[in-house]
Amino acid sequence: MHILLSLPGTLPVAKAMQLLKGNSSKWMHETFLELRNSSWQEGYAAFSIGVSGVEETTTYIRTQEEHHRTRPFRDEVELFLRRHGLEYDVSMLE
């Protein structure tokens, strides 16, 4: 799942993800009883973009299902990390 958020500088990303995952899980479990046993995966990836990247990112998110039909999410994240010269632990992508 890809989400584009604008966070205030006073809200740490980790806290935002805790709130997002917790509140959405509660809502899903209460709204869709058949999903009571479902849960978010552990961890998350978060990247910042500038205002100039909002339109491209929004388009990408709208077409993510199409992207993931041809490229697994893990491959996509790994390519992104390499392209931007970011260090990562392969085991964190599993």
Is 54 part of any domain? no
Is 55 part of any domain? no
Question: Which tens digits make up the pLDDT trace of 65-91?
Answer: 887 788 887 888 888 889 888 888 888
Question: Which tens digits make up the pLDDT trace of 30-40?
Answer: 999 898 888 88
Is 56 part of any domain? no
Write down the pLDDT at residue 16.
96
Query: Do 42 and 77 reside in the same domain of the chain?
Result: no
Query: Do 75 and 41 reside in the same domain of the chain?
Result: no
What range defines the domain where residue 84 resides?
63-94
Query: Do 45 and 68 reside in the same domain of the chain?
Result: no
DSSP 28: H
Quick one: what percent of the chain has pLDDT higher than 70? Answer: 100
Is 57 part of any domain? no
Report the number of distinct structural domains present in the chain: 2
DSSP 10: T
Reported pTM: 0.70
Query: Do 2 and 40 reside in the same domain of the chain?
Result: yes
CA distance 47 to 11: 15
CB neighbours of residue 73 within 10 Å: 14
CA distance 76 to 52: 22
